[in-house]
A and B are shown apart, each in its own frame.
Chain A
Amino acid sequence: MSFPKARVPYLLLFPGFAFLFTFFILPIINLAQTSTQTPVKGGDTGQYEQTLAFSNYIQAFVDNKEQFARSFIYATLATVFALAIAYPLAYAIAFKSGKFKNILLVLVVAPFFTSFLLRTIAWKQILGEEGFVVPGLRNLHIIGQQTTLTSTSVAVVAGMTYNFLPFMTLPLYASLERIDPRTIEAAGDLYANGITAFRRVTVPLSLPGVVAGTLLTFIPAAGDYVNAAILGSPNTKMIGNVIESRYFKIVDYPTAAALSFTLMAAILILVTLYIRKAGTEELV
């Protein structure tokens, strides 16, 4: 069999494209259609008809402003904490770990061997009354004797930080590891002390990793509902939890779809702004 070489790329793209078309594009179109439907008059629960009710979007947003805001605040906090923890970790693995490098990298991804859900439930134990964290913090008088951590925003953000840490660490490691150590030596040779060399050479050269890591953390965190469901309370509901309950409990498909699209659009806008900023920022 022979066919023009120029067609090879299309042939290679075909399986992925077919998959995405069936399981992403079609559902998205379906979701878009659902988002402007209204209940059938006199119909059963869950029966909807297309009325191009774009007001669904406004209604959905107005009703859930608070959860939207919370989602983005929690996701931002989790991203910042994950970055603060992952940067030194990735730096140490890339530059200071010597022969332990591979073991440490395996340890970073080791949590993936256990289910996401299970680990989040484990955090409920850790932060619960019977865990060592709460009594420990109480003994140190960091928190009050009556204060609990479960069902608080602290627990939700902590859970998210933990769950997304590997997604922050790995791209950071990859970009730090690529840095030629001689460029850092060169900075020292050119009158930069350790801190200046880090600020002027290491950090800018690791920025691609910072951007990739923060995106891989922020995007799923903004849409996350597992952490808030397991570690939070009704007061820590995120937009993911609202969508989940609209779909499966209230069977309000149009509102759930409208919220999904709003969330998607919001993330897309924020991420675009962020990449623009990170991409054009004067790094010197």
Chain B
Amino acid sequence: MSSDAISARGDLRLTRITKSYGDFKAVDDLTLTIPKGSFFALLGPSGCGKTTTLRMVAGLEEPTVGSIHLGDTDITTTRPYQRPINTVFQNYALFPHLTIFENIAFGLRRRGIKDIKEQVDKVLNLVELPHLAERKPTQLSGGQQQRIALARAIVNRPALLLLDEPLGALDLKLRRQMQIELKWIQREVGLTFVHVTHDQEEAMTMADTIAVMNEGKIEQMGSPADLYDNPETAFVANFLGQSNLIKGKIDGNDGDNLVVDLFGQRISMPKKRSHAVDNSLYAGIRPEKFRISRLGTPVKGNTLTGGHIEDVSYIGVSTQYVVAMPWGQEVMVFEQNDDGVAPFDKGDEVNISWEPTFTFGLRGDEDIDAGTEVNPEELEEQ
């Protein structure tokens, strides 16, 4: 089994994977298929099980229960060095005693590949660092080390490339640049990339498909746009961007729409965007979908009245308003600064309105703070 695992190709399938440490389940009955050739992101806060999942795929941990297949080959218990899978490690784990050339050649040499020089040169050109071949890793900047770690993995043309928080150690500007480059390289080499991150922006920029993980389970899986526009749980709604979640009650039907009562004010939303299981629901609206208008100005779509501006933050491209609603909730509104000035001041009486189709509905028994807590460990990482 293990001898032909090295040449296995195809979709990666995790079937009912559980990984327990004592009583703690790091990964809990996880089933997942990652299609060949895709850029797939596992997104979640630290401790959600994403890194454990990645390590099981790499072979560095063995699942307590469940199986891992690559194409038709079962690789659940295959040793890491017998899997056609390479990893870009967090903090890179380059070999400090070897030159950049030998770092990249390491995997090729172990497999007895012939044209090592040619292949290493090619991949060094791909990451645009051919002049660093004879340096040692410590002589490189963080961004350069990151690219070498990537080069060292993709030179082997693995069936699967795993990236464990690959950009976590870089500063913001470099991170943005590397996000675009990684995406470009993935298209260029056509390998399957599985990317683990707690940075939602990173996942959304690069991945075709994102699986949001929380407490060892997948909360929701889909394209970045799907997850952002139509989150199914409060955790996803809050973890990807910001959401305003307003408690309401389903009051009836209107064709393909639901009529929802939000603290006495009626709005409508598409039926198919509601994930409620009974009459109670949370209506979710992203802050940038709201429009603010002065009392008495006619507006289209759903409208909630009786708010007043609590706080104004001008941040250049947009202005962020905190609007206090009559039932005591504060909602976030992002307005584009099309005309360059913030037209509303603190204390102004306003209506907020939005297109009904932008509304998403969550179950009424959700914890609306799920996914909003900032983990102190993650702050330290950044």
B48 at the interface (CB under 8 A from A): no
Looking across the interface, which residue of chain B has its beta carbon closest to that of A190?
Answer: B107
Dominant SS at the A interface? helix
- Do the beta carbons of A188 and B80 come within 8 Å of each other? yes
Q: Collect the chain B residues with CB atoms within 8 Å of residue A200's CB.
A: 106
A102 at the interface (CB under 8 A from B): no
Question: Chain A, 183-217, contact with B by CB distance < 8 Å: what is the 0/1 string?
Answer: 10111111111001000110011010000000000
Within 62-101 of B, Cβ neighbours of A (below 8 Å) are at 79-82, 85-87, 89-91, 93-98
- Do the beta carbons of A187 and B60 come within 8 Å of each other? no
Contact A189/B87 with A196-B110, A284-B102 known, Cβ cut-off 8 Å: yes
Q: Collect the chain B residues with CB atoms within 8 Å of residue A192's CB.
A: 81, 106, 110
- Do the beta carbons of A186 and B89 come within 8 Å of each other? yes
Question: Chain A, 258-284, contact with B by CB distance < 8 Å: what is the 0/1 string?
Answer: 000000000000000000000000011
A182 at the interface (CB under 8 A from B): yes
How many A residues touch B, CB cutoff 8 Å?
20
A180 at the interface (CB under 8 A from B): yes
The residue that A191 contacts in the complex, of B90, B94, B97, B110, with Cβ under 8 A, is B110
Task: State A201–B86 Cα separation when bound (angstroms).
Answer: 17
Q: Collect the chain B residues with CB atoms within 8 Å of residue A284's CB.
A: 98, 102
Task: State A225–B220 Cα separation when bound (angstroms).
Answer: 74
Task: State A201–B95 Cα separation when bound (angstroms).
Answer: 7
Give B309 Cβ to nearest chain A Cβ, in Å.
50
Task: State A19–B319 Cα separation when bound (angstroms).
Answer: 70
Pick from A189, A200, A207 the residue with the most CB of B within 10 Å. A189
Task: State A76–B98 Cα separation when bound (angstroms).
Answer: 30
Task: State A247–B80 Cα separation when bound (angstroms).
Answer: 63
Looking across the interface, which residue of chain B has its beta carbon closest to that of A204?
Answer: B97
Give A26 Cβ to nearest chain B Cβ, in Å.
42
Q: Collect the chain A residues with CB atoms within 8 Å of residue B107's CB.
A: 190-191
Task: State A220–B305 Cα separation when bound (angstroms).
Answer: 88
Looking across the interface, which residue of chain A has its beta carbon closest to that of B155?
Answer: A190
Q: Collect the chain B residues with CB atoms within 8 Å of residue A191's CB.
A: 81-82, 107, 110-111, 156
Q: Collect the chain B residues with CB atoms within 8 Å of residue A183's CB.
A: 93-96
- Do the beta carbons of B60 and A190 come within 8 Å of each other? no
- Do the beta carbons of B91 and A186 come within 8 Å of each other? no
Give A282 Cβ to nearest chain B Cβ, in Å.
10
Looking across the interface, which residue of chain A has its beta carbon closest to that of B164?
Answer: A182
Question: Chain A, 207-243, contact with B by CB distance < 8 Å: what is the 0/1 string?
Answer: 1000000000000000000000000000000000000
- Do the beta carbons of A205 and B81 come within 8 Å of each other? no
Give A191 Cβ to nearest chain B Cβ, in Å.
4
Q: Collect the chain B residues with CB atoms within 8 Å of residue A207's CB.
A: 97
- Do the beta carbons of A180 and B81 come within 8 Å of each other? no
Within 23-65 of A, Cβ neighbours of B (below 8 Å) are at none
- Do the beta carbons of B86 and A193 come within 8 Å of each other? no
B58 at the interface (CB under 8 A from A): yes
Task: State A200–B97 Cα separation when bound (angstroms).
Answer: 10
- Do the beta carbons of B97 and A190 come within 8 Å of each other? no
- Do the beta carbons of A182 and B95 come within 8 Å of each other? no
The residue that B93 contacts in the complex, of A182, A204, A283, with Cβ under 8 A, is A182
Pick from B91, B95, B107, B153 the residue with the most CB of A within 10 Å. B95
Task: State A196–B86 Cα separation when bound (angstroms).
Answer: 17
- Do the beta carbons of B91 and A190 come within 8 Å of each other? no
- Do the beta carbons of B102 and A190 come within 8 Å of each other? no
Task: State A268–B36 Cα separation when bound (angstroms).
Answer: 62
Task: State A274–B127 Cα separation when bound (angstroms).
Answer: 39
- Do the beta carbons of B58 and A189 come within 8 Å of each other? yes
- Do the beta carbons of B106 and A205 come within 8 Å of each other? no
- Do the beta carbons of A189 and B86 come within 8 Å of each other? yes
The residue that A188 contacts in the complex, of B81, B96, B98, B102, with Cβ under 8 A, is B81
Question: Chain B, 149-164, contact with A by CB distance < 8 Å: what is the 0/1 string?
Answer: 0001100100000000
Given contacts A188-B60, A189-B81, A192-B106, 6 further A-B contacts (CB under 8 A): A183-B93, A186-B93, A188-B59, A189-B58, A190-B81, A190-B86
Report 13 cross-chain contacts, Cβ distance below 8 Å, ordered by A residue: A186-B87, A186-B95, A188-B79, A188-B80, A188-B81, A189-B58, A189-B86, A190-B81, A190-B110, A193-B79, A200-B106, A205-B96, A284-B98
For the complex of A and B, list the 3 residue pairs with the smallest distance between their C-beta atoms, beginning with the closest.
Answer: A190-B107, A182-B93, A191-B110
